[in-house]
Chain A
Amino acid sequence: MRSPVLSPRQFDWTLLAFTTTLAAHLLWLPIWFGATLTAILIARWLQRRAYARAWPGWIKFPVLIVVLILVVIAFGNAALRQAGPTAALLSLATLKLIESERRRDGLLVLTVSLFLVSVLFLFVDGIGITLYMLVPTLLIFFALNEVNAPPGTRGGLSSELGSLGRELLMLVAVVLPLTAFLFASLPRLTAPLWGSRDLQGQARTGLSDEMAPGTMTELLADDTPVMRVTFPERTPPNNAMYWRGPVLWRFDGVTWRTNSLSGPGQIEGRLRGPQTGAPGDLRYQVMLEPTDRHGLYTLDLATGFPAQSSRTVEGAVLRDQPVSSLFPYEAWAAINTPIPVLALPNMQRRWGLELPKGLNPRTAALAQRWRAEVGDDPIALADRAMRHIRGENFGYTMSPPPLVGAHRMDEFLFETQLGFCEHYAAAFVVLMRSAGVPARVVTGFLGGAFNPIGKYHLIRKSDAHAWAEILVEGRGWTRYDPTAAIAPERIDLSGRDFASQATGGNYVWLRGVRERFDAAQAWWNETIVRFDRFSQRAFFAKLGVDADDWHDVAAWMGGGVLFFGLLTAGVLYLQRRRVPVDVPKQLYRSFLKSLAKRGISSSAQEGASDLGKRAALALPSLAQPILAVVHAYQEARYGPPAADAIKRLQQALDVFRKAVSVGRV
């Protein structure tokens, strides 16, 4: 038997459920790819509204081929093991919709949508998207409800949303707790049985290994959380929170890059973790969002850091494995301590002095002039440079005039004189190198916004910063932040606050909402996203269940199933008590009582018509109203359903009562 054709209503529900699922995937799909699928869906929707027919093969197959080619173009990269198949599945589901005419097709699309809802979490995470995904999930179930309704009937769930009280009760009282119970109790694996997550599964923007013009601007506009930091003992001031990221040495006139000192092969001067800081050091705990990179952001100088990570000769802490999921760690810092030169002093000095040949002559000349002025002392030269930046007409702006020529540092220092951390750090390092002082650019994050609800500091991508370090013999690499010379507020506020201050947007309530939301996000990360075999063991231990003893776990699961059975029974009991009385029968009983008062008793076996006839004979004066009541009662009780049947019975009963009272008078 062929499955029935989808009604317009059923088709629209299916399309809506799939579209809301696809919408979530647009978060990670390339824009043009998502736009193609969306365009196909819109075209299909318009066409199905006009007439119910699948697209003919000469349209369908070319579209299929084009979309599959797009998948290959977007995800042909073999490293993306999960992105490619997921995009292919999204495309195939879209194409299935353009030929979906029957219930089978609709059910297939909806089931695949449900699969795609879960698959999304391979690519994105967080409380916001989790809450949003409830929408497609429920819509898929509404659509299943509609699509499964046989022809001529309705699914009912969506059309009865207003009076869905009891179904909603079931959802809140049983479904959500059951989901939570299963979530907490389902045994977790310590290691995956197969495969592993894509490392570069999505292009996560973050601090990269190079600083080209514009890379920072992109970051500064991005609110995405990078990490959340708790200081259990004391909180350093914001202007001391320099979170160290990649160290950049090589400059080609435009772009700054890392060198071999950052590589994993560089083992000299490395300090292996785990390390614990000295007693006076600042201790803090970090929950780092996945970056797909090795770096752990730490405060200088990192004296304590977790196992399976090490501090490089540059002072950055690198983890052996890339951070591909939320990663918690504890670290210690000796605040404001220069980075010691533990190895390769000559190589570091050589790298720290290298400049592209023949570029930026005016900058070089300025540096030489200073050198003649204050001598060879690196600290005196750095102070001179800071004074220069403070004294001249330099300005801080997030949207500086672009630098276009070959001598970009000259252009910046002598012409535009407008820029932000990227420009100032770069110019400072070029000046220092030109003056013969080894210097390097350090990128990372500065400060962080304190969240009073969660009692932690949130560092966002918009807190990205770049500063400079110069090598002072006998002390090590010492931090200089030329941006502080020009915009000291930037150093004291988090980047976001600074930006909103600059644009005049200062919405206190909005900030409160954001803080609340971020605290919720942090809680979600800690308790839900990070929930694994170890958290589960701790959770079970709290309940007195030994997670490693399968007897215990089985008893717990069995108890849970029993509990939810009882809970469901309880909900049913509540619903059953609300069963209304049989209104016609109730009215009829009052009628029988009146008759009994007039001397006509009735037995349970006697049918209404027999009783009516008997009563009419016995009370001829009331015969007419009596027969009318009996007739109306039978209509209301057994007749075809009619809305006013009960009303008519009520009226007949009123007439009867009136007649009774008149008779008495």
Chain B
Amino acid sequence: MPPPTTPVKGLLSNWRERAWQMLDRRLPNLTRRHRNERLPITLNQRRVYIVPSAYGLFFALMMLAVLGGALNYNNNGALIFGLLPVSLAAVSMLQTFRNLDRLSLVQISADSVHAGDPVPLSFHLHTEDQRTRFAVTLSLGGEQRHVEIAAGSTTLVEFAQPSTARGWYSPEPVRISTRWPFGLFYAWSFLHSDVRVLIYPRPEATAAPLPNLPDGGRVGGTDPGDEDLRSLREYQMGDPTRLVAWKASARTGDLLVRQLEAPQARETVFDLQQIRGLNQEQALSRLTRWVLEAERSGLRYRLLLPGLNLGPDLGPAHRLRALKALALHALPSP
């Protein structure tokens, strides 16, 4: 935490914090930005806020002038055309609100990346009803995306947010807003989901050689089509059903599919404690790099961290486990 630079600034931030706390207590709906929620989040009248826009105030001023003039000169033609826009504006307040109402954030898909790479986030916005939502704006971290969500469909809004450190990353609350239809009112809401993304350590830039292979000989060596349990993995939606290993599935009670790549033979050990002369983050970076290289060259590897022993193994699942362990190593659990 940075020390307060001047007393005034400290006082100010203190005051702001107190104001937020009070708002949190009194108007919990308004300050949803401070609370994480489970998806899907559906907007409703309790969480959409609406105020006249700056243009709306200018418009109101103009209409006041028209109505005042029309009443003064008792000119009913002018009065009608002062009141018609006023009525349209009044109804448009409702339309602005309804442009957000019953809009759902059903999913946030995010990919894990290495620290320093932008985190791709896609927000899946969905409308249940038959109203197309025009001109909806999402703001996240100073960036804006303007989208239209067709009736009864889901629209993806993509952002890329910078990632700084390894570990769990929670996206900032995204502000969803609209001025549709006439720009007279501004309606907004904050969507703060509990979605979090794992940020892997940044791989070391210069490649250190892989630690020595303990044994250069081949281990095992089987037919590629063999239904060894090692070459089976759990079924995931979208896998071709012809790959399902029915016998093995019936035996284990899990639906399993055959892996196409043949098992690999060589193996190595990555041990955090064997790395000298680097601080913890640098060491983790090196291990990350090694994991990636081992995967690329098809080398079975074992990852040793304090209190953790993974593998030896190879393949996407092992890789994910290893990277996750590296990402979360020695971090407080949230």
Contact = CB atoms under 8 A, between A and B. Distances in A.
B250 A111 contact: no
A119 B4 CA distance: 58
B195 interface: no
B130 interface: yes
Contacts of B128: 579, 582
B71 A580 contact: no
B237 A631 contact: yes
A617 B250 CA distance: 7
A359 B84 CA distance: 62
A580 B152 contact: yes
Interface stretch (B143-151, B196-204, B304-312): B143-151
Nearest to A148: B183
Interface string B84-95: 111110110011
A137 interface: yes
B183 A144 contact: yes
A515 to B, nearest CB: 23
A153 B146 contact: yes
A156 interface: yes
B5 to A, nearest CB: 28
B235 A125 contact: no
B88 A613 contact: no
Interface string B166-189: 000000000000011111000000
Contact of A122 (B78, B88, B135, B238): B78
B237 A157 contact: no
A609 interface: yes
B62 interface: yes
A578 interface: yes
A603 to B, nearest CB: 18
Contacts of B79: 118, 183, 186
B69 interface: yes
A194 B84 CA distance: 24
Contact of B130 (A137, A572, A580): A580
Contacts of A617: 249-250, 253, 255
Interface in A506-537: 528-533
A178 B77 contact: no
Interface stretch (A45-53, A361-369, A416-424, A634-642): A634-642
A119 B179 CA distance: 28
B91 A174 contact: yes
Given A156-B132, A529-B76, A151 B94 contact: no
Contacts of B65: 115
Contacts of A578: 130
Contacts of A530: 76
B83 A156 contact: no
Interface in B41-64: 55, 58-59, 62-63
B294 interface: no
Interface in A154-209: 154-157, 160, 166-167, 170-171, 174-176, 178-179, 182-183, 186, 188-189, 192-197
Nearest to A192: B72
Contacts of B179: 148
A40 interface: no
Nearest to A133: B81
A183 B73 contact: no
Interface stretch (A25-33, A269-277, A488-496, A620-628): A620-628
Contacts of A528: 76-77, 80
B147 A122 contact: no
A114 B106 contact: no
A193 B135 CA distance: 43
A613 B235 contact: yes
A568 B154 CA distance: 28
Nearest to B74: A532
Contact of B82 (A118, A125, A160): A118
Given A121-B78, A641-B154, A111 B58 contact: yes
A628 B130 contact: no
Nearest to B80: A183
A628 B242 CA distance: 12
Nearest to A144: B182
Interface residues of A, number: 81
Contacts of B110: none
Contacts of B58: 107, 111
B135 A117 contact: no
Contacts of B253: 617
Given A155-B134, A186-B71, A613-B255, A145 B84 contact: no
Interface in A525-573: 528-533, 568, 572
A141 interface: yes
A152 interface: yes
Contacts of A118: 66, 69-70, 77-79, 81-82
A43 interface: no
Contacts of A119: 69, 78
Contacts of A640: 154, 156
A452 interface: no
Nearest to B122: A640
A170 B95 contact: yes
A630 B83 contact: no
A473 B274 CA distance: 140
Contacts of A150: 135, 137, 144, 146
B124 interface: yes
B95 A115 contact: no
B107 interface: yes
B76 A531 contact: yes
A267 interface: no
A84 to B, nearest CB: 16
B147 A153 contact: yes
B37 interface: no
Interface in A115-132: 115, 117-122, 125, 129-130
A149 interface: yes
A612 interface: yes
Contacts of B194: none
B13 interface: no
Interface string B111-124: 00000000000001
Contacts of A620: 246, 250
B59 A111 contact: yes
A616 interface: yes
A175 B91 contact: yes
B80 to A, nearest CB: 6
A572 B131 CA distance: 12
B180 A156 contact: yes
Given A157-B181, A186-B71, A179 B91 contact: no
Contacts of A634: 237
A469 B246 CA distance: 119
Contacts of A152: 146
Contact of A616 (B66, B88, B255): B255
Contacts of B124: 638
B135 A154 contact: yes
Contact of A580 (B75, B129, B146): B129
A137 B74 contact: no
Nearest to A182: B83
Nearest to B130: A580
B108 to A, nearest CB: 12
B38 to A, nearest CB: 14
A568 B87 contact: no
A115 B83 contact: no
A115 B66 contact: yes
Interface in B253-295: 253-255
A481 B311 CA distance: 122
A616 B71 CA distance: 76
The interface centre, meaning the residue of A129, A182, A530 with most chain B CB atoms within 10 A of its CB, is A182
A186 B59 CA distance: 20
A195 B80 contact: no
B210 interface: no
Nearest 3 pairs between A and B by C-beta? A121-B77, A148-B183, A156-B134
5 contacts: A120-B78, A156-B180, A179-B84, A580-B152, A613-B255
Given A145-B180, A155-B135, A579-B128, 4 more contacts: A111-B59, A174-B87, A174-B91, A579-B130
